[in-house]
Amino acid sequence: MKALGLGVLTGVLVATVAASLVFALTDQPQARALYVDEPSGQAAAPRKTQATEDPTTDKADFAGRVAGGLVALSIRGGKAVGYFCDGRREVWMSGDARDNRATLTGTEDGETLMTAELGDDDATGDLVLGEAAFRFTAPVVERPSGLYRATEQVRGASVVGGWIVLPGGRQVGAVRFGDAEQPAPRLVPGRDVRIGGVTLEPEPVDAFIEELTHG
């Protein structure tokens, strides 16, 4: 009987030890998993969320008055092109538009800077021309108002014309023959312009923005 009792006791002890080992092995990964996101008792790091979509308008045209002349700004798919002209001086600008803000620099002089906050009804910002800076507000415009540009090659020289047309008919423009500039003839949108024996074909922004923003 003693031998039988000892055998039963031994069997119970073996079963108990085996059950303890099984429980320990199956429970261990769960215990480790509690500390994967919170090592050493620290709070879990916030998980990255998907970036929000840029709210900047995909297409918009603005034009208004500044510094005795006119300024225009056009946005197309994150790219921006701008133009200032007072009939004597003209400057083309290009840059980017992100987070409802446009930043442009002069395409040739490197000294012109335009920054603007883009709203639903207008663009408000600053225009830096050399050492002078001006504040401007340019309302949204629709064709035939807005910005136009024409280019041509004449006897190896580049001819570039620019125009800004405001609602109501007011406009300003200039044509550059090589290094010489002169006021542009009045533009009738959709028609050619002739100046100095050269015929120019002014085009709206969609036709030239890729060229000025380097594609």
Each residue's pLDDT tens digit, 133-176: 999 999 999 999 999 999 999 888 899 999 999 999 999 999 99
Whether the predicted pLDDT of 28 surpasses 60 = no
Nearest in space to 149 (alpha carbons), one of 97, 72, 62, 86 = 72
- Measured distance CA(176)–CA(207) in Å, rounded: 19
Locate all alpha helices (DSSP H) within the chain, ordered by sequence: 2-33, 209-212
- For the whole model, what pTM was predicted? 0.74
Helix (H/G/I), strand (E/B), else coil: 6: helix
Find the angle CA(99)-CA(73)-CA(132) to the nearest 5 degrees.
Answer: 100
Share of the chain above pLDDT 90, in %: 64
Whether the predicted pLDDT of 126 surpasses 60 = yes
Share of the chain above pLDDT 70, in %: 75
- Kindly indicate the confidence band of residue 56, based on its pLDDT and cuts at 50, 70 and 90: very high
